[in-house]
């Protein structure tokens, strides 16, 4: 019965897109198989706001993970490249091990979009055999399949609020003064940061910008440390903390520990509604 209902809903969704066969806009449902968690259910809303550009708001839930992502997509022929990813107010465990590389492939039937597929391949590992290095091909670490279905009204409204808030944050961030007095030099291309509230938990909510990309949105600081893995560019990199509010004890303060796999250094960043503090991380091989 569930399969029949699912098929009927999918037919309705495909019919609604028939006049715009290349449009991704609308509701999507699917499943995510990831190496760090059991199969999870996914619901998504896509807004194609310009030719070749779209925003995907995706909610993932398992027994231990409840997380929303905002993805910026750019079209290249029949694939949609992932240009930017934001984690939005995660609850429970995070998907810190996800490497958002690659693209969504468009699956078609009779020239109409019937699915979106994203596969994150596991990096090949070199293994020694008989004194020689041998590259082992591993199975994909993550497979996400989305199918067009009628929008969930409540989720669509939530997605629209998040997308609007993102646009407003970009505009507001340009008005605030950036304080850049802290810096650290590292030699590794990959780092892990941990962020938390080391003082009294007072409702501070922040967003984080890594270079030109917003990576965390409307995050409530807690005593528990939250992990994010980052890739560095050669030379200067900037991690900026944007205050979404002031909490009950201004200013908005966060502790950020940076681990480059050799040393861990902790910075205290303070931001308010007129200034945003940042830390400069220099990659020097």
Does some domain include residue 156?
A: no
Q: Of 7-16, 62-71, 184-193, where does mean pLDDT reach its minimum?
A: 7-16
141 and 247 housed in the same domain: no
| pLDDT tens for each residue of 28-57 | 999 887 666 566 889 999 998 778 899 999
| pLDDT tens for each residue of 204-215 | 999 999 998 898
pLDDT at 7 over 60: no
Asked if 103 contacts 82 with a C-beta cutoff of 8 angstroms, the reply is yes
pLDDT at 273 over 90: yes
184 and 105 housed in the same domain: no
Query: Which residue segment(s) compose the domain that 187 sits in?
Result: 174-283
pLDDT at 22: 63
147 and 277 housed in the same domain: no
3-11 CB contacts, 8 Å cutoff, 24+ apart? 6/149, 9/149, 9/150, 10/114, 10/147, 10/148, 10/149
Q: Regarding predicted confidence, which is higher, 218 or 119? A: 218
Domain count, the chain: 2
| pLDDT tens for each residue of 125-164 | 444 445 444 444 444 567 889 999 888 889 999 899 988 8
pLDDT at 169 over 80: yes
251 and 138 housed in the same domain: no
Q: What CATH number should be reported for the domain holding residue 243?
A: 2.60.40
How confident is the model over 262-279, as a mean pLDDT? Answer: 95
Q: What CATH number should be reported for the domain holding residue 67?
A: 2.40.128
pTM of the model: 0.74
Q: Which of 119, 151, 183 is the last residue of a domain?
A: 151
- Angular region, 77: left φ>0, alpha ψ -120 to 50, beta rest: left
């Amino acid at each position: 019965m569930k399969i029949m209902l699912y098929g009927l809903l999918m037919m309705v969704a495909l019919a609604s897109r028939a006049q715009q066969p290349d449009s991704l806009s609308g509701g999507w449902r699917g499943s995510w198989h990831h190496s760090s968690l059991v199969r999870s259910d996914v619901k998504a809303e896509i807004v194609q706001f310009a030719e070749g550009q779209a925003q995907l708001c995706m909610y993932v839930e398992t027994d231990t993970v409840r997380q929303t992502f905002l993805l910026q997509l750019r079209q290249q022929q029949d694939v949609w490249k992932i240009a930017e990813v934001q984690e939005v107010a995660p609850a429970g465990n995070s998907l810190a091990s996800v490497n958002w590389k690659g693209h969504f492939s468009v699956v078609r039937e009779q020239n109409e979009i019937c699915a979106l597929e994203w596969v994150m391949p596991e990096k090949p590992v070199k293994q020694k055999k008989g004194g020689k290095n041998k590259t082992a091909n591993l199975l994909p670490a993550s497979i996400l399949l989305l199918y067009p279905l009628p929008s969930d009204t409540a989720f669509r409204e939530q997605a629209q609020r998040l997308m609007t808030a993102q646009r407003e944050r970009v505009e507001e961030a340009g008005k605030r003064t950036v304080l850049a007095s802290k810096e650290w030099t590292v030699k590794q291309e990959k780092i892990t940061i941990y962020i938390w509230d080391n003082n009294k938990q007072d409702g501070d909510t922040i967003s984080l910008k890594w270079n030109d990309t917003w990576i965390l949105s409307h995050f409530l600081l807690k005593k528990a440390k939250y992990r994010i893995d980052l890739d560095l560019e050669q030379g200067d990199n900037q991690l900026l903390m944007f205050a979404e509010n002031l909490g009950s004890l201004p200013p908005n303060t966060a502790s950020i520990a940076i681990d480059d796999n050799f040393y861990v250094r902790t910075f205290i960043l303070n931001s308010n509604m007129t200034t945003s503090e940042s830390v400069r991380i220099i990659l020097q091989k």
